[in-house]
Structure 1
C-alpha cells in the first residue's frame, strides 16, 4: 500500500480565493520537515493541487534538494494569474523531472456538471495544460474531492490513467482511483510521521466505506 500526500499552498496564504483555503496552506518550515519524513519512503507519493506559484517558488527547490519527485495538478483557468503557475512554470517543473496533471479549469466540483461544463473541465482543461506544459497530461485530481459513479465513468471515457481523490486512506499502488491525505496548516513533521507509521485506523476504514458508497451512487 502507498500513502499519497497532497499539498495545496506553501508559505502564507495572503488572500483566499475560496473560503477556508488558508487551512490548506503549510508553512515553509513545516513543509520542509514533512518532506524530510518522506525520505527513503518509496511507499509515499507527493502531489500538489490548485497550481499556486509557491509550487515552483518554494516546493520545487525543496524537492530537488531531497531528490524527490511529485505531480503538480494545475488549473487551466489560472495560467494567466500571477499568483498561479504559468506555462513557463509548468515547463520548468517538467524540465526538473516533475509530472503535471489536470485539476480542471475553474476549481469547481466535477460532480453533476452539465455536458458543456464537463467538457470544459475534463477535456478542454487537459488540452490547454498539454499545450501550456509541453507534455502529456495523463492524471487528474478531483477538485474538492467530490465524485460519483457517473463522473468516474466520464473520467474513464476521457482516458485518464489515474484519478486522485481527497479520501483519507492508503491506496493500492496500481489502483485507477487513488485516495490521498490533504496536508493542512495544522500538520507538522510529527503528525505526518504518525500518519505514515500508524496501523490502519477506524476513521480510515470509515473513509474506505464512504468511498465505496460514492462509487455506487
Structure 2
C-alpha cells in the first residue's frame, strides 16, 4: 500500500496514503476538514447531517440515526457486496440493518483514505475502508479466521448518500469491490472495541450538530 510516487495526482485511491494502524477518528476528522472548507449552505447542511450520522453509527447509537431531523420517513438502501445486492426499503428494514451491525459488535469502521465530494444531490465517497470484526463475522468469507480473534477487514468501497433539498437523508447506495478484500489478524492490544470507539468519538459527536 505504499504511495505511487511516480504519478502526480490527488486521487486517494492511487496514492493510497494510508495510516499504518487503524484510527477510528481519522475518517470523521477528514469530514470535519472538508466541511470547514465548504461554503454553500446546502452542502454544509448535507455534510453536517452526514458527519453526525457516521458518528452515531460507529459509536453504536444506531437508534438515533433514523430520526426526523436526519432521515426521511421511508429510507431506501442498496448494499452490493460479493455478487449480491441487499435492498432495504423503509424504516424497519434499515433500522434492523443498523441494529444487527451493533449487536454483532461490527460497528467499528471507517475510511483509511478516500476521495470525497458533496453536491446538491448528496455525498459521494470512494474509499479504502477498514472494518474491525470478530473472527466469527468472517464465517461466510473465504478466509480461515480464528473465531476468538479480531480482524481488520480492508476493502475498496463506493458510497452514495442521497439527500433532500432540506438536507435529510433519503438513502444510501453502497457497492464493495469484492476483489479487494484484505484481512489483518489483530493483536489484542490493536483491537478498537465498540466501547473504545464510543469513547474516542465522543468529543467529535458532541460538536457534530446540525446547526
TM-score by length of 1: 0.23
Higher strand share: 2
TM-score by length of 2: 0.23
